[in-house]
Each structure stands twice: as C-alpha cells, then as structure tokens.
Amino acid sequence: MLSSFFFFFFAGFSDQFDKYSWLTIDDLGKDYDYESIMHYDRRAFTKNGLPTIVNTYNEAMEFGTNDKKLSQKDIIEINALYDCTSSK
C-alpha cells in the first residue's frame, strides 16, 4: 500500500497523481512491483527533498532500479500483456 504526500505539482504532471479504484487497475494477477523500471523514484517531483511517495509498510524503501533495467516482474508482466512465451 502506498501513501502520497504532494506539496507541489509540476505543470503537465498532475494527471500522474490521479487515483484509481482497485476495480480499474489490471495487476495481471501479479504482486505490486516496487522495483519496476516504470516506477517513479520516491522523491520524484519534490521541491523540498522530502519523499512524495512512500511505502506504508517500509517508509525508507526505495523504488525502481538503480541500474535502470527491467525488473523480473516487468519481464513477466510484458510477456503476459503480449501473450509471449519464453524460450528459456
């Protein structure tokens, strides 16, 4: 579960903070991927250095990947979305 603390919005990015019900979100039957390459950094859009998004169970958790590569769950979800099978 995530909590968001928004103090400032950058022009053109406010739609990135729209909230959706669980009925709208298609999680492909997978657990939440905190390491996804698509995940914002926990300090994205901050003007004061404080986190704008935190994990409610671990407030110090970092999001995304340091090496900017797809996470294992990213790969699994892409394969599921495009109905791909792995040759490995």
One digit per residue, pLDDT tens: the chain, 88 residues?
Answer: 444 444 444 556 677 777 777 777 777 777 888 889 988 888 888 889 999 888 889 989 988 877 889 999 999 889 988 988 765 5
Position 35 in a domain: yes
Instruction: Tell me the whole-structure pTM to 2 decimals.
Output: 0.60
Position 21 in a domain: no
Host domain of residue 85? 1-9+28-88
Tally of structural domains, the chain: 1
Segment (H or E) for 81: helix 72-81
Position 36 in a domain: yes
Position 17 in a domain: no
Comparing CA positions, the residue from 86, 78, 79, 2 lying closest to residue 44 is 2
Position 86 in a domain: yes
